Amino acid sequence: MKNRNPVVHKLLESFVQFHKLNWKQSPMVSLKSSEIMVLFSIKKLMNPDTPGIKMSDISNALRVASPTITQLINSLETNGFVERTMDKEDRRAVRVKLTDKGEGAIEKASESFYEAFNGLAEFLGEENSNLLADLLSQTFTYFEKRKKEIF
Amino acid sequence: MKNRNPVVHKLLESFVQFHKLNWKQSPMVSLKSSEIMVLFSIKKLMNPDTPGIKMSDISNALRVASPTITQLINSLETNGFVERTMDKEDRRAVRVKLTDKGEGAIEKASESFYEAFNGLAEFLGEENSNLLADLLSQTFTYFEKRKKEIF
DNA sequence: AATAAATTATTAGGCAACCTAAATATATAT
DNA sequence: ATATATATTTAGGTTGCCTAATAATTTATT
């Protein structure tokens, strides 16, 4: 990394630092942050005229392998945050929906996420917040493209 | 997360996306990225008139608990990337330094990191790259401060 | 219709990157 | 001399993922 473009070095340093950041801090003592992410994505995908979300849809939404979702849903189900039901049209599929407890949990989590990120948005200022979000998305695009090109 | 400030939502979304990003992709098949980070920090801390870096210094530099460093150094040592020596002034301490193999490895890793981040800097443009690095650092500051205030 | 191929989810087992608590050895302070 | 502090290691655990193999069912092909 020697005597090269200092911007590059600065970028790398900030990435390292940022990466350590635990911004996903679970506000619910009883839920891991991966579980909260699952609840969020169920909430987001859910619509009133379906009996629940398919495992594979959660897996796609979170870009996580399906056995991972199985495990997370197992734990969420045994703790009463979600319910599994059989899909009547496709008996291979499983439909998952939030219980009232689940709804309550994401209500709280949502509150606390909002508070944290609202604080950040205030701290950075609206313009910078927008900029940051855009730059992060661009960075994501860059690395995804790069990955495809290399392999 | 309903009908609230859209900037906040956008920030959160971009964080989620960015967080998944595997920008630390280890270029050396035989080294995990945590191990590369250790090698980097040894290289950075090293100075010609010491016989090596103390475990605790690596641990502080990377902000990782010392048993974690012990494990990483164990593996790096058995694979010949670093060498442990006793500290003659303080016999509790251990000094770690890079072997030639270790130097070679971080040379290559450094090359490949630089290439990736240089590409990013070009992709974003110099001004935006600087901005991104600054905003990430500010974000780090914000969350660190928040953590302290809450607990 | 029968068989093959694809899809959905689960089970089993593993890995990376961390952590804490307790143990060991040595150094420093009282 | 004893207590306390520091440096490292050992032992064992957690989180968040993964792949390969299996079971059940659906869809496509002959």
Buried (b) or exposed (e) across B59-71, using 16+ Cβ within 10 A?
A: bebbebeeeebee
The pLDDT of residue B1 is 54
The pLDDT of residue B2 is 53
Residue A98, pLDDT > 70, answer: yes
The pLDDT of residue B136 is 95
The pLDDT of residue B27 is 67
Q: How far apart are CA B133 and CA A10, in angstroms?
A: 6
Average pLDDT (A73-93) is 96
Task: Render pLDDT for B133-147 as a digit per residue (tens, 0 to 9).
Answer: 999 999 999 998 887
Q: CA nearest A12 in B: which residue?
A: B117
Using pLDDT thresholds of 50, 70 and 90, give the confidence band for residue A41: very high
**How many Å does it take to go from CA A45 to C1' C3?**
37
Q: Is A64's CB less than 7 Å from nucleic acid strand D?
A: yes
Question: Which of A60, A80, A83, A56 is closest to A70 using CA atoms?
Answer: A56
Task: Render pLDDT for B71-113 as a digit per residue (tens, 0 to 9).
Answer: 999 999 999 999 999 999 999 999 999 999 999 999 999 998 9
Which residue of B14, B25, B134 is in closest CB contact with A137? B14
Q: How far apart are CA A84 and CA B45, in angstroms?
A: 53
A121–B11 CB contact, under 8 Å: yes
**How many Å does it take to go from CA A34 to C1' D16?**
7
Q: How far apart are CA A103 and CA B121, in angstroms?
A: 42
Put simply, whether B61 touches A (Cβ < 8 Å) is no
CB A59 within 8 A of CB A76: no
Average pLDDT (A82-109) is 96
Residue A146, pLDDT > 90, answer: no
Using pLDDT thresholds of 50, 70 and 90, give the confidence band for residue B33: very high
Put simply, whether B8 touches A (Cβ < 8 Å) is yes
Residue B35, pLDDT > 90, answer: yes
For domain B27-150, the question of CATH label 1.10.10.10 is answered with yes
Q: CA nearest B130 in A: which residue?
A: A7
- 3-state helix, strand, coil split of chain B in percent (to 5) is 65, 10, 25
B5–A146 CB contact, under 8 Å: no
Q: How far apart are CA B140 and CA B130, in angstroms?
A: 15
Average pLDDT (B41-55) is 95
Structure tokens at B20: 């998944």
Across the beta sheet with A53-54, the strand order is A53-54, A94-98, A82-86
Interhelix angle for B126-150 vs A6-20, to 10°?
A: 30
B138–A123 CB contact, under 8 Å: yes
- For domain A29-150, the CATH architecture is Orthogonal Bundle (1.10)
- For chain B positions 108-127, those within 8 Å of chain A (CB to CB) are 110, 113-114, 116-121, 123-124, 126
Put simply, whether A148 touches B (Cβ < 8 Å) is no
- Mean pLDDT (chain A) is 92
Using pLDDT thresholds of 50, 70 and 90, give the confidence band for residue A38: very high
Residue showing tokens 């493209």? A145
**How many Å does it take to go from CA A87 to C1' D30?**
30
Chain B residues within an 8 Å CB radius of A131? 131, 135
Task: Render pLDDT for A47-67 as a digit per residue (tens, 0 to 9).
Answer: 998 999 999 999 999 999 999
**How many Å does it take to go from CA B66 to C1' C21?**
13
The CA distance from B81 to the nearest CA of chain A, in Å, is: 19
